[in-house]
Every structure is written in structure tokens, then in C-alpha cells.
Chain A
Amino acid sequence: MSAQHNLVMQAKGLVKRYGQVTALDGTDFELRAGEILAVIGDNGAGKSSLIKALSGATIPDEGEILLDGKVIHFKSPIDARRAGIETVYQELAVAAAMSISENLFLGRELRRAGFLGSVLRMLDKKKMLEESIARMRDLKVGIRSMTQPVETLSGGQRQCVAVGRAAAFAQHVVIMDEPTAALGVKEGNMVLELIRRVRDKGLPVVLISHNMPHVFEVADRIHVARLGKRAAVLNPKKISMSDTVAVMTGAMPPDEIPAECLAH
């Protein structure tokens, strides 16, 4: 890998303090075009504070975040979404009694053209349904009918709907916060497969996960958060799972990591 990769998203020297606690202590972050970047770290390593800052859920005290080389200031997750960053959450964030198509378009419904849409504010259900079918087929999510309520789906299929929604609307980045944590083995694999397809469609993915086998299965690079900083960026093809855990817990100091195990 050369250093010539396009940086889609970048953070420099992020600091976030909660009273006496320093959650982020000058951490850096780099996401390249077309990659799956796993973010791992022990509890309190600053992993979730980093993700919250990137997705607009918290405002960092210091440091800057760049999207496509431009400095951005998110005040809310809505700002991040407007900038093309979509986030998938651990809990299955869908409205169970509503249809898949309605869930995909929740909050960005399409209205009919002309009088029906502008005055009566009538929804274009047919168009939303067609687009749902097209987008889910694009991602090869094998769900028979887009009009069935989400509650008729399995947990994995529901998470696929959430991932599909993010992938369908994200312009720049998809952030996934423990998307497989609530799922069984088979269901988890189904979601991993989908995450790979999202990347292959050209969207870079930030994957936060505790699950090492999942991280090693899909990640192109691994960002290790430790003590509010970025301890290292590892190459999962070169480093072992146990060494990765050692870096994460501090048993292996960053300067002892073999050079070939670092991602460049």
C-alpha cells in the first residue's frame, strides 16, 4: 500500500474532556477511500468518543475534523448526515411495525409531484417502493417483499435493512457501531457480507467492533484506540489476533510492533 491514498475523512489532535475525565487526548484518525477501517479499543480507550465526534453526536473541545480535505464542524448527527455520513447503531434501529420500504425512507420520504404532493403533501409510495427494491437488490439483500413489516424479519435481516438504509443514502462515509453485536453467528456473517458489498460499491466504512474474528474477516486496516490516543494502525493480514489484543490492552507497546504489521 502506498501513502497516496485519498483521505476521505481525517481528524487531527481531537480532545474531548468530560469534567475531570479526558476521553480523547489528542487522537488522530484517517479513513481512506474504498476501505473498511475497523476501530477497536478497550472500554474507556476513547473509541466511542471518537465515533461520536465523527458522527456529530458530540462536539470535540479541540482539534479538527476534515471531510474531503475541508474542515467541518458538526453540531448534531443531522449535520453529519447532511454531509453524507450515515451511522448504523448497535441496537436494531428500525420501526418494527412499519414496512421495509417505509423504514428505508423514514425521515426522507418522497412526495408526489404536482398538487397532490405540494398541497396535499401526499407520499409517493410507489416510487419509494420501487427505489427500495432497486437499492436492496443492488446490495443483494435477499428479502422477498419490501412491503412486509420489519418485525416479520430476523434480527440479521433487520440489521441488513439498517445497513442498507445507511448505504443507500450515504454520500461519503458509513459508520457502523457494533452492527453485529446483537446477532447470532449466521446472522452476523450475513451482515459482514453486506458490509463488504457496501465497501465494494465504493463507500468507505468505519466499523466499530469488539468481535476480533469479525474485525479480521472484513477490515482492511485496524485503528487501535488506547488511552484517548491512536496507539497504532495495524495491517490485519500481517499481525495476529493475539498481538492485536496485546496492542489494544497495552501489553505490547506501539514501538515494539514489528514494522511489517503496521498499515501504511
Chain B
Amino acid sequence: MNNWKEKLPPIGTLGPFIALLILCIAFSTQSDRFASSENLSLVLQQVMVVGVIAIGQTLIILTAGIDLSCGMVMALGSIVMTKFAVDLGMPAPLAILCGIGVTALFGLVNGLLVTKVKLPPFIVTLGTLNIAFAITQLYSNAQTVTDLPPAMTWLGNTFRVGGTSVANGVVLMLLLYLATWFALRETASGRHVYAVGNNPEATRLTGIATNRVLLGVYVLAGVFYGIASLLSVARTGVGDPNAGQTENLDAITAVVLGGTSLFGGRGAIVGSLIGAVIVGVLRNGLTLMGVQSVYQVLITGILVIVAVAVDQLSRRGGR
């Protein structure tokens, strides 16, 4: 039976890329400033935090999990590193490592609850989302941390390539994507992440320690959130206890828009980068057009559902 759904190709990476192109063309007809090089470099700087969170989120979604705590853990990391540096007078590199350590610890907790206690990732991370938020507020007294050492904001500095300014953090983000792309495609550990997402039982039976793969993925995602903490601090110049609120859903949106299946085992990391840029372009373009931010939230919400629906329908056809 040739159902129309069977003819839907899996989203792949070409789909999101075309969507991004269409979006860019549409916005440049609506606003003269959109396609300017300053604006596009601004978009990338806005994207770098979500982009790096999305790497961790992609790894988790590839294993058929989900991490709702990503943005809040990122916020906690940025409060820890800035307060350690400013209040405790810790040298910046050490404070940064402590911040990343805390986010990795949250990843470890998520991972242990998923692998050892066998709780669903959705519920586990919904819990840690609130825990991370509460600790952030308590530890920071809901106060922004200022007067940061310059080393903490270095990634926010820009250098010029031709006529365009590029932030150091954007380069770091691209390097992290490159490294993850290589690891997922070309190493056994990377292929095992896909295998676990595809068929955990079959993967276990081939002798792969699936729980170790899962735990590794959650901890690694925590490390990526920690790096995102630093990028967020660098971009805003402060430790902000209210950071991470839009990033939380934006990161999931980016991954899904990028064609990674929420059912696990399918997707490419490049897609998440394109997805993150789509989210960034959308927010930026709508702002330039003078659309209220509430509508931006509305549109992102609709977008996730459409992307998930396409994923769901094309999978059903493929089986």
C-alpha cells in the first residue's frame, strides 16, 4: 500500500538547511538591516549559547532521552563560576572549571537516575530543572553577579574577519560541533550512542555496556551546558540567575528542527547547529520587524510541534 506518508523523506539535514535559507530570504525582504554583516554576526553571537546547549541535548535525544533541565543547569553553572571568582576570589580558570564541574555533576545525577533507578528521562530532568533553578536563586540571592575578571568574558570578545566581527565564543562553538560531529560519525563510542537510541536491548546483547554509554552521554551533556554557562557569562558580562529560561526550550527546538528524532537513534549533529541558527534567525528577524516577543514564543512553540509531527509521520512510513 503506497501511503502518501511513506513518501515523506526523513527530514535529514537538507530540509532544515532549506528552511533556514527560505527564512533568511524572507527576512531580508522585510528588513534592510537583516542581511547586514553586523546583524548576521550578532545572530551568531546570540546563537552560541543555545548552540552549545543543543550539542548536549542532541546527544541525549539520540539515546531516546530528553533533558528539560539544560537551560537551568546552564544558569546554575554561570552563577557558580561567577560567584566563585568574584565572592571567593578564585582565579578565573579554576572558577570556570568549578562551574563546569557543577553542571557535569547535574548530568551525572540525571544519568544515574536514568540508568540505575530506571526513571524516565522526562521526569528526572523535570525534577532537576526545578532543583537547579531553586539552587541558582538561593545561592545568588536572585542577585546578578557583576565585576567579573576579564578572563571570564574573553569568549565574548570579537575579532574582525574582513568586514565582519566574529566572537571568540562562536569559533569555540563551531569547534565543539566539529569535534562532536567527528566523534559521532567516526568513533565506536559515537556509533554506540546511535545504537543505544535505536535498540537498547539489542545493543546490550552485543556486549556493549549500554548504561555506561548513557551515563557518559548525560555527563558529557552536563559539560557542554557548563561551557554554555561560560559563553552566556561572556556574552552578557554578568552572572545572571534568570538566564537559561528561553534557552531551555530553544535548545530542544533547535535539535528537533535539525531533524534529530525524539524516538532516538536518528539524526545528525550538523542539523542541531542549523536548528539553533534557525531559532536565532527567527528571534532576530521578528525583532527587527517589530514583532512582540510573546509572538516569537508562540511561533517557536508551533515550530517544534510541526517538526515533531513531520518526524513522527516520516518514521511511521519508514517502518
Pairwise interchain contact A96-B199, C-beta atoms closer than 8 A: yes
- New A-B contacts (15) at CB < 8 Å, excluding given A95-B194, A95-B265, A123-B186: A77-B205, A78-B207, A81-B207, A93-B201, A94-B199, A95-B198, A95-B203, A96-B199, A98-B191, A102-B195, A106-B195, A107-B206, A122-B187, A123-B188, A151-B319
Determine whether B150 belongs to the interface, using a CB cutoff of 8 Å to chain A: no
Cα–Cα, bound, A81→B207 (Å): 8
B208 at the interface (CB under 8 A from A): yes
Could you mark each residue 181-205 of chain B with 1 if its beta carbon is under 8 Å from any beta carbon of chain A, else 0? 0100011110110110011011101
Question: Which residues of A have CB within 8 Å of B189?
Answer: 121
Chain B residues positioned under 8 Å from A81 (CB to CB): 207
Nearest Cβ in chain B — how far from A171, in angstroms? 15
CB contacts (< 8 Å) of B206 on chain A: these are 93, 106-108
Q: How far is the CA of A97 from the CA of B187 in the complex (A)?
A: 17
Q: What are 11 A-B contacts defined by CB distance under 8 Å?
A: A77-B205, A77-B207, A81-B207, A93-B199, A94-B202, A95-B194, A95-B198, A107-B192, A122-B187, A123-B187, A125-B186
Mostly helix, strand, loop or mixed at chain B's interface?
A: helix
Q: Is the interface of A mostly helix, strand, loop or mixed?
A: loop
A109 lies within 8 A of chain B by Cβ: yes
> Closest residue to B190 on the A side, CB-wise?
A123
Q: Which residue of A lies closest to B186 (CB)?
A: A122
Total A-B pairs, Cβ < 8 A:
68
- The minimal Cβ–Cβ distance linking A202 to chain B, given in whole angstroms, is 23
Indicate whether A121 sits within 8 Å of B198 (C-beta atoms), given known contacts A77-B207, A95-B203.
Answer: no
The answer, yes or no, to whether A216 is at the interface (CB within 8 Å) is: no
B318 at interface (Cβ–Cβ under 8 A)?
A: yes
- A201, chain B: closest CB distance, angstroms: 21
Q: Counting CB contacts under 8 A, is B33 at the interface?
A: no
Chain B interface extent, by class: 20 to 34
Q: Which residues of B contact A96 (CB under 8 A)?
A: 198-199, 265, 319
Question: Shortest CB–CB separation between residue B67 and chain A, in angstroms?
Answer: 21
Give min CB distance, A123 to chain B, whole Å.
6
0/1 string, B240-271, CB within 8 A of A gives 1: 00000000000000000000000001100000
Report the nearest A residue to B318, measured CB to CB. Answer: A151
Docked complex: A62-97 residues within 8 A CB-CB of B: 77-78, 81, 87, 89, 91, 93-97
Closest to A107 in B: B206
Asked if A97 and B208 sit within 8 Å, CB to CB, the answer is no
Chain A, residue nearest B319 (CB): A151
